[in-house]
């Protein structure tokens, strides 16, 4: 398929698989990442197996860096047809160390206190997560949509999370950022899918996939699984984590105007049933 697909965060656990799978259909894949070395490895692997891919350095929190990446993508492959916003972070210092309040938590207000609670989380760490996950998605859309508006068949796909729907414990900034991406997906579809803009905007909400982003939350240093992993599996009717490749069908569906040309503002959860299962 002749499409230029731009994927942010494509050096990472999920994005690298998205890049490889999209390249298999003959699409030209632009691999954007903060970590140029990781992006370069993914591009190299795709080219070695006959695909078309190139790596571009990009920090989604820096508009100038996104604009430079856009210029470079245009020169290398042409205008972006599909943008997948996959760059995202968790920050250990933006998480609480406890699932719920315990008496006395309000007294530990020093930010160097190892126990992180509502009362001593550092706002700048929360903002960092919001900046990458939400503002980074917004800014990438702002920059790449310049090449997409008014053309037939272009689309944007955001990556949200189960945390956008359920108030998952310990990750207030991550959950808020993904809820914001969910709302922004619908806002942007209202704005840009009209007869003039013609860009469809949808999202995929992954369930649980083991990647560098979340490895420490689900696997102990000795290789055994954490209690949080057990909670996830208990609430997942299919009884297992997902494989990154299992997200690709939903992405390709949204990317292909033949399959989803009248669909915008939607989210598909790829979660083994997690969202529809209360776990009791
Ligand atoms: N792994 C999961 O189970 C899961 C579940 C739901 C949602 N997600 C979302 O999927 C996306 C990808 O997650 P992953 O599991 O592949 O994580 P990952 O940590 O493996 O990959 C994230 C990539 O984003 C890049 N990145 C980080 N900050 C950046 C920035 N400022 N500019 C450009 N690139 C930047 C990193 O270098 C990394 O390559 C994230 O948005 C994440 O929130 C993941």
- The tens digit of pLDDT for each residue in 31-72 reads 999 999 999 999 999 999 999 999 999 999 999 999 999 999
Query: Could you give the domains of the chain?
Result: 4-96+129-210+242-274 (3.40.50.720)
The pLDDT value recorded for residue 225 is 95
> Is residue 79 within 8 Å of 149, Cβ to Cβ?
no
Q: Shortest CA distance to 195 belongs to which of 233, 151, 146, 238? A: 151
Confidence of residue 107 (pLDDT cuts 50, 70, 90): confident
- Encoded tokens for 94: 């933006």
The pLDDT value recorded for residue 114 is 81
The pLDDT value recorded for residue 95 is 96
Distance between CA atoms of residues 62 and 159, nearest Å: 19
**174: annotated active-site residue:** yes
Choose one of 6, 7, 12, 90 to mutate for the ligand 1 pocket test, by most ligand atoms within 8 angstroms of C-beta.
Answer: 12
Pocket of ligand 1 (CB under 6 A): 8-9, 11-15, 33-35, 38, 58-61, 86-89, 132, 136, 159, 161, 206, 208-209, 211-214
Say which of 165, 174, 208, 218 is annotated catalytic. Answer: 174
Q: Are strands 52-57 and 28-33 parallel, antiparallel or unpaired?
A: parallel
CA 89 to ligand 1 centroid distance, Å: 5
Nearest protein Cα to ligand 1, atom 32 = 59
- Residue 100 neighbours by CB under 8 Å, 6+ apart: 169
Residues in the chain: 280
Mean pLDDT of the chain: 96
Nearest protein Cα to ligand 1, atom 22 = 12
CA 107 to ligand 1 centroid distance, Å: 34
Nearest protein Cα to ligand 1, atom 43 = 88
User: 116 phi and psi, to 5 degrees?
Assistant: -100, 125
Report the 10 Å Cβ neighbour count for 55.
Answer: 25
Nearest protein Cα to ligand 1, atom 39 = 12
CA 13 to ligand 1 centroid distance, Å: 7
Q: Measured on CA atoms in the order 2, 211, 178, 56, is the torsion positive or negative?
A: negative
* Whether this model's pTM surpasses 0.85: yes
Choose one of 8, 10, 11, 13 to mutate for the ligand 1 pocket test, by most ligand atoms within 8 angstroms of C-beta.
Answer: 13
Q: Is the model's pLDDT at 280 over the cut of 90?
A: no
- Residue 112 neighbours by CB under 8 Å, 6+ apart: none
- The tens digit of pLDDT for each residue in 108-164 reads 665 555 889 999 999 999 999 999 999 999 999 999 999 999 999 999 999 999 999
Q: Shortest CA distance to 263 belongs to which of 250, 244, 246, 276? A: 250
- The tens digit of pLDDT for each residue in 162-210 reads 999 999 999 999 999 999 999 999 999 999 999 999 999 999 999 999 9
Distance between CA atoms of residues 98 and 95, nearest Å: 9
Task: Give the percent of the chain with pLDDT over 90.
Answer: 94
Q: Is the model's pLDDT at 29 over the cut of 60?
A: yes
CA 35 to ligand 1 centroid distance, Å: 11
Confidence of residue 8 (pLDDT cuts 50, 70, 90): very high
């Amino acid at each position: 398929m002749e499409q230029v697909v731009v994927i942010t965060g494509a050096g990472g656990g999920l994005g690298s698989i998205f890049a490889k799978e999209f390249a298999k259909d003959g699409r030209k894949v632009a691999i954007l990442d903060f970590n140029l070395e990781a992006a370069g490895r993914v591009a190299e692997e795709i080219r070695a197996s006959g695909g078309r891919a190139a790596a571009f350095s990009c920090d989604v929190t820096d508009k100038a860096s996104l604009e430079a990446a856009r210029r470079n993508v245009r020169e290398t492959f042409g205008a972006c047809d599909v943008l997948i916003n996959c760059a995202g972070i968790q920050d250990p210092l933006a998480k609480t160390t406890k699932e719920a309040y315990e008496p006395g938590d309000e007294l530990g207000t020093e930010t160097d206190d190892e126990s992180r609670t509502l009362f001593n989380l550092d706002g700048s760490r929360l903002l960092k997560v919001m900046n990458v996950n939400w503002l980074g998605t917004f800014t990438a859309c702002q920059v790449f949509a310049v090449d997409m508006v008014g053309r037939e068949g272009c689309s944007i796909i955001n990556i949200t999370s189960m945390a956008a729907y359920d108030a998952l414990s310990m990750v207030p900034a991550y959950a808020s950022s993904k809820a914001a991406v969910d709302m922004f997906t619908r806002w942007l579809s209202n704005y840009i899918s009209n007869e003039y803009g013609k860009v469809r905007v949808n999202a995929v909400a992954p369930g649980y996939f083991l990647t560098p982003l979340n490895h420490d939350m689900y696997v102990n240093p000795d290789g055994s699984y954490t209690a949080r992993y057990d909670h996830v599996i208990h609430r997942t009717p299919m009884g297992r984590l997902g494989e990154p490749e299992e997200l690709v069908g939903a992405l390709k569906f949204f990317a292909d105007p033949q399959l989803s040309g009248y669909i915008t503002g939607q989210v598909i959860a790829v979660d083994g049933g997690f969202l529809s299962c209360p776990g009791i």
